[in-house]
Amino acid sequence: MARGNGKHAIFHIEDDYRRMVDGLSKTVGRTDWEVFAYVWMPNHIHLFLRTPKPNLSKGMQYLLSGYANWYAKRHQRTGHLFQGRFRAELVEDESYFWTLSRYLHLNPVRGKRPIVAHPRDWPWSSYPGFCSKAKQVDWIEYDGVLNAWQAGTWLLCSCSKTSCWSVQDHFSLNSSSIFVFSCCIASACCNVFSAFSVCR
């Protein structure tokens, strides 16, 4: 997770959100990250990914610094955009894939002031690609998440032959149990799973 300095907004217009999406795409190309899910909120971002190489910090620096520099020029602002260093949690069990992705995708509909009524109404996340192949991008590991869901405790129903799992099941299941694994970020190494801000 990375949050705006003082919890201030880091996105103001659609171009801001698009620039962060573009930045993540380029970061994946440079780092070989495997992204499973993401969501951009007005004042913070969440990422769920795997780092095949020990380059988590370098990749996050490239992503966040690149956006911050672009943002400063675009909006003619000075000072720190993000609040300190990004926060990371280590997840070593694939059975939590669907729980983590669900948590990220439900962000826009939760909290005291929900942004939208349903995840499908928030365009700035990886959610649309899980419901429509036409909206998928080649740098998100959709099958990795879907396969983890199908192998987990809850079997989500397929609503078509285009990898469109049941939105109703995903949205309505109890999402109160979020498991957190703490780790020292310096210990991140090959073949570990990193999820940003799975904590409440």
Name 67's Cβ contacts closer than 8 Å, sequence gap at least 6.
10, 19, 20, 23, 81
pLDDT given at position 85:
74
Give 86-138 pLDDT, tens digit per residue: 878 888 777 778 888 889 999 999 878 899 999 999 999 999 999 899 999 99
DSSP string, 35-101: EEEEEEETTEEEEEEEESSS-HHHHHHHHHHHHHHHHHHHHT--S-SB-SS---EEE--GGGHHHHH
Give 129-164 pLDDT, tens digit per residue: 998 999 999 999 999 888 876 654 333 322 233 333
Give 10-27 pLDDT, tens digit per residue: 899 999 999 999 999 999
Going along the chain from its start, the domains and CATH numbers come out as 2-195 (3.30.70.1290)
Give 68-81 pLDDT, tens digit per residue: 999 999 988 887 88
Helices 97-106 and 142-151, interaxial angle, to 10°?
120
Q: Please check the confidence at residue 190 and state whether its pLDDT lies above 70.
A: no
